[in-house]
C-alpha cells in the first residue's frame, strides 16, 4: 500500500460526518461527491432527530437515542457554527385504535428510558399555542428530540474537514473501484483514479452498484418522500409537530416544512407538468391547506418549493454499516434515519477505521447479514 489516505465517497450527512470524525483525529482524508455536498437524500430531508416510535427493537431504539446525544455533542464541538432546534416533538392522534397504539408506544419507550410522556389537550396547547388539533384521542411529548437543517450540518462539518487539510472534491462521480487481491486500492472517476488505503462508500442510493464491483451486496429498496416548503413566516411553532396525516416543523429562518404523501409522477419543482402527472404546484398548495387545518397560521401562505427525495432505505430498514467481510478495506455506510444517526455513525466509523475496533453497538447492522 503506497498511501494512507481514506477516501469517502459521497458527501451527504453520513459521508460528511465520517470525514469530519476522521479528519478531527488527524487522519488523511479525501471526500468526493458526484454532484455537490448534500445533493442526495440529505438536502431533501425533514431533519427530525428522534428515537420514536418506529425505532424498534430496543437495540435500534438505543442506537437512535445515542444518535440524539451525538447531535448534542456535535453542536457543542462546532460551537456557534450549527444550531439544532431542541424543542422536542408533539404527536397526537384521533380516538380509537390509533390512540391505544400511541399510549402503548409511549409506555414501551418509557420502559426503555425515553423522555416521552402522554399529555392532555391543555398541555398540548401549552406546548403548541398556535395549533387547532381537531379530533383528539391521545397525545405525547418527546422532550429529547430536535430538528436540524441537515445542510447546515454538512456545510459546518466540511468546513472543519477542509480546515484540517483534507480534500473535498466535487463534482466528482466515482465510476469504479480498483481491486487487487480482494482489497480496494483506488477509486476511479472516468480515466482518473485516486489511491486509497480505505474506501468508505457513503453515496446513498448509489452504493449498491459500486459495492457490487467488490462483490458486496448492499440491498436497498425504493422509498420516496415529499416535502413542501413555505415562504418564511413569523414564528408559529417551535417543536416538531406530528398531526394525523401531516408532519411539520418551522425552521430557524421561518420557513415551515410540511411532509406529505408521495404521488406518482410528481416533479421536483413547483409548476405545471405535462401529461397525466399531477400538477406539483396544486399538490403542494393542497398539502399546505391540509397542514393549515391544524396550523391555521398557514392559511393563504405561499409555497416556495417542493422537494422529492429518495431515502437511503435498506431492504430490512436497518442501517448497513461496517467493513465488508469479503473486501476488508471497504467500509459501507447506508441508512435511513441518517440525519438522526449521522454524528454518532461518524464517530463510531472513525473508531472502526482508525483503531480497528469492532463497535458492538453496530454488530446487528453489518453488511455480512446479506451474505447467503
Ligand X SMILES: Cc1cc2nc3c(=O)[nH]c(=O)nc-3n(C[C@H](O)[C@H](O)[C@H](O)COP(=O)(O)OP(=O)(O)OC[C@H]3O[C@@H](n4cnc5c(N)ncnc54)[C@H](O)[C@@H]3O)c2cc1C
Q: Provide the binding-site residues for ligand X, judged by CB under 6 A.
A: 9-15, 32-35, 38-42, 44-48, 173-174, 202-204, 206, 225, 227, 309, 311-312, 335-340
Pick between residue 123 and residue 210 the one whose CB is nearest to ligand X: 210
Q: What is the SS3 assignment for 158? A: helix
Pick between residue 197 and residue 313 the one whose CB is nearest to ligand X: 313
- Contacts of 367 by beta carbon, 8 Å cutoff, 6+ apart: 211, 216, 217, 218, 320, 321, 322, 323, 324, 325, 332
DSSP class of 195: E
> How many secondary structure helices (H) and strands (E) does the chain include?
8, 21
Q: Least Å distance between CB 100 and ligand X?
A: 25
User: Measured between alpha carbons, how far is 124 from 121 in angstroms, rounded to an integer?
Assistant: 5
Q: Least Å distance between CB 340 and ligand X?
A: 4
Pick between residue 96 and residue 171 the one whose CB is nearest to ligand X: 171
Closest-CA residue to 47 (of 350, 366, 339, 355): 339
Q: Least Å distance between CB 49 and ligand X?
A: 7
Please identify which residue in the block is written with the cell numbers 465520517: 18
Pick between residue 21 and residue 311 the one whose CB is nearest to ligand X: 311
Pick between residue 98 and residue 173 the one whose CB is nearest to ligand X: 173
Q: What is the SS3 assignment for 3? A: coil
Pick between residue 17 and residue 185 the one whose CB is nearest to ligand X: 17
Pick between residue 39 and residue 218 the one whose CB is nearest to ligand X: 39
Alpha-carbon Rg for the chain, nearest whole angstrom, is: 21
Q: Least Å distance between CB 76 and ligand X?
A: 20
Q: Least Å distance between CB 204 and ligand X?
A: 3
Q: Least Å distance between CB 150 and ligand X?
A: 6
- Contacts of 117 by beta carbon, 8 Å cutoff, 6+ apart: 106, 110, 140, 141
> Over the range 144-171, which residues count as b (16 or more CB within 10 Å of their CB) and which as e?
bbbbbbbbbbbebbbebbeebebbbeee
Q: How far is CA 283 from CA 50, 106, 248, 286, in A?
A: 28, 33, 16, 5
Q: Least Å distance between CB 119 and ligand X?
A: 21
Amino acid at each position: 500500500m503506497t498511501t494512507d489516505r481514506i477516501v469517502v465517497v459521497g458527501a451527504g450527512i453520513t459521508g460528511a460526518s465520517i470525514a469530519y470524525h476522521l479528519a478531527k483525529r488527524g487522519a488523511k482524508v479525501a471526500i468526493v461527491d458526484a454532484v455537490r455536498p448534500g445533493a442526495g437524500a440529505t438536502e431533501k430531508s425533514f431533519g427530525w432527530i428522534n428515537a420514536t416510535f418506529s425505532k424498534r427493537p430496543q437495540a435500534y431504539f438505543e442506537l437512535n437515542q445515542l444518535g440524539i446525544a451525538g447531535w448534542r455533542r456535535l453542536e457543542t464541538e462546532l460551537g456557534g457554527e450549527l444550531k439544532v432546534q431542541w424543542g422536542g416533538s408533539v404527536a397526537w392522534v384521533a380516538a380509537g385504535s390509533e390512540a391505544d397504539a400511541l399510549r402503548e408506544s409511549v409506555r414501551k419507550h418509557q420502559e426503555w428510558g425515553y423522555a416521552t410522556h402522554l399529555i392532555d389537550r391543555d398541555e398540548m396547547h401549552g406546548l403548541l399555542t398556535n395549533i387547532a388539533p381537531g379530533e383528539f384521542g391521545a397525545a405525547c411529548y418527546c422532550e429529547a428530540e430536535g430538528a436540524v437543517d441537515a445542510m447546515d450540518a454538512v456545510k459546518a462539518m466540511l468546513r472543519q474537514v477542509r480546515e484540517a487539510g483534507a480534500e473535498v472534491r466535487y463534482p466528482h462521480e466515482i465510476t469504479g473501484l480498483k481491486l487487487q487481491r480482494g482489497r480496494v486500492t483506488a477509486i476511479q472517476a472516468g480515466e482518473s483514479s485516486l489511491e486509497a488505503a480505505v474506501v468508505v462508500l457513503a453515496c446513498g442510493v448509489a452504493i449498491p452498484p459500486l459495492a457490487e464491483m467488490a462483490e458486496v451486496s448492499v440491498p436497498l429498496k425504493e422509498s420516496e418522500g415529499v416535502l413542501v416548503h413555505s415562504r418564511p413566516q413569523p414564528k408559529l411553532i417551535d417543536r416538531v409537530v406530528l398531526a394525523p396525516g401531516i408532519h411539520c416543523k418551522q425552521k430557524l429562518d421561518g420557513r415551515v416544512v410540511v411532509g406529505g404523501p408521495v404521488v406518482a409522477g410528481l416533479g421536483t419543482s413547483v409548476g405545471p407538468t405535462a401529461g397525466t402527472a399531477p400538477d406539483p404546484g396544486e399538490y403542494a398548495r393542497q398539502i399546505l391547506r391540509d397542514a393549515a387545518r391544524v396550523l391555521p397560521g398557514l392559511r393563504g401562505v405561499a409555497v416556495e418549493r417542493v422537494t422529492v427525495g429518495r431515502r437511503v432505505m435498506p431492504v430490512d430498514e436497518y442501517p448497513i454499516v461496517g467493513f465488508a467481510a469479503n473486501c476488508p478495506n471497504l467500509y459501507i455506510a447506508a441508512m435511513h434515519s441518517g440525519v438522526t444517526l449521522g454524528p454518532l455513525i461518524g464517530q463510531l466509523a472513525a473508531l472502526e477505521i482508525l483503531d480497528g475496533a469492532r463497535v458492538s453497538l453496530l454488530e446487528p447492522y453489518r453488511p455480512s447479514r446479506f451474505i447467503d
